[in-house]
Amino acid sequence: MNTPDATAKRSRRYLGRFRSRSRTVKSVSEPPVQHGRAPDETGHTLRDLVVITGLSGAGKSAAMAVFEDAGYFCVDNLPPEMISSLAELFEHSGSKVELAAIVSDARGGSYFEEIAPVLDQLRGSGLAFRILFLDADDQTIVNRFKETRRRHPLAPQTGAAEGIAAERRILTPIRQLADAVIDTTELSPAGLRRVIAEDFLTPETRGKLAVTFMTFGFKHGPPRNVDLSFDVRFLPNPYYIEDLRELTGLDEPVRSYVMESEGIDEFYARLVPLLDYLLPAYADEGKQHLTIGIGCTGGRHRSVVIAEHLADVYRQNAELTVGVAHRDVERRSVG
């Protein structure tokens, strides 16, 4: 029975689990728009709160992933009755949550019908937030449920069509309150990511493509988790220079040797334009992490020099987060 006491007990239990699962939020620098209340004497730092809702099967999980990758603290499947309590927790003195996204939908059962009055009440409290509503045509949603072999939350014993019709009736008031409505009927997950990033996120909160240049030695086997791989064994090998053999590509004598090698300029002249083309293409398709393998014989000399140089080049691109990993640089020198 949905009594006030029962509701309060459920809220306390849920928020207790929420506090125990608190996690670090990725740092995001100074979005130009302040959506939440301005920081005051309470000490909270909430800058943006997004409520994601809409039809089951319309892509809410994919949408939440976009916000999570952009540094938002995300809570999935939150019953409407707990939205206000969670917002109060975000605004509590000492809260470190700056960006938050909440998904609330029909999985909340009969309590989901309360979402429109709950959000009206929250707006009346003075807290600014945005509502993102995801929609799709009935046949597309039916097909998605068939593909995933899942039951519609509002029609577990019948067909998805009945659940969709019931859900549309419940969602009519909240759809009218939405700040943005996205129809995902003809959108792929990557397309949905692009729409949200372009129309709903600020430039500062859009997730950057994280690029890692990973060096390795073919002598020790290729790495398993690379997206692209380049073999630089065509370059002269410092291993055969006695004074350089025990050094690595992190040492200046080896770096100078490789950077002055015959063919290195021509190699960069071809590789850099290729990466200039590929990196934005991967980002446009929604890829968040890209690992580029650079391999030589032992993974200690040529590959290390080239990976460090490429990292320096692409660190100048503000749209990228660039790192370097040297898998085999500490291994015994074998070329």
**Contact call for residues 187 and 141 (beta carbons, < 8 A):** no
pLDDT of residue 152: 80
Question: In which band, very low, low, confident or very high, does the pLDDT at 35 lie, cut at 50, 70 and 90?
Answer: very low
String of DSSP letters for 37-80? PPP-TT-----EEEEEEE-TTSSHHHHHHHHHHTT-EEE-S--G
CATH topology of domain 24-199: Rossmann fold (3.40.50)
293: which residues sit within 8 A by CB, 6+ positions away? Answer: 214, 215, 216, 222, 223, 226, 228, 229, 230
Task: Compare 79 and 294 and report the one with higher pLDDT.
Answer: 294
Whether pLDDT at 296 is above 90: yes
pLDDT of residue 266: 96
Q: Which letter does DSSP use for residue 238 in this model?
A: G
What residue has token string 């004598």? 253
Compute the average pLDDT of residues 82-88. Answer: 85
- On average, the pLDDT of the chain sits at 81
Q: Which two tokens stand for residue 267?
A: 């190699």
**Contact call for residues 132 and 180 (beta carbons, < 8 A):** yes
pLDDT of residue 306: 98
Question: In which band, very low, low, confident or very high, does the pLDDT at 128 lie, cut at 50, 70 and 90?
Answer: confident
Compute the average pLDDT of residues 196-217. Answer: 79
Task: Compare 109 and 57 and report the one with higher pLDDT.
Answer: 57
Q: What are the start and end residues of each CATH 3.40.50.300 domain in the chain?
A: 24-199
Q: Report the C-alpha gap between 68 and 62 in whole angstroms.
A: 10
Q: pTM of the entire structure?
A: 0.55
For 282-320, letters b (16+ CB in 10 Å) and e give bbeebbbebbbbbbbbbbbbbbbbbbbbbbeebeeeeeb
Q: Which two tokens stand for residue 91?
A: 């605004």
pLDDT of residue 111: 62
CA 156 to chain centre: 31
Whether pLDDT at 153 is above 50: yes
Question: In which band, very low, low, confident or very high, does the pLDDT at 333 lie, cut at 50, 70 and 90?
Answer: low
Compute the average pLDDT of residues 237-249. Answer: 94
Compute the average pLDDT of residues 250-267. Answer: 96
Compute the average pLDDT of residues 286-313. Answer: 93
What residue has token string 């580029």? 292
Neighbour count for residue 93 (Cβ, 10 Å): 9
Whether pLDDT at 320 is above 80: yes
Q: Which two tokens stand for residue 183?
A: 């129809």
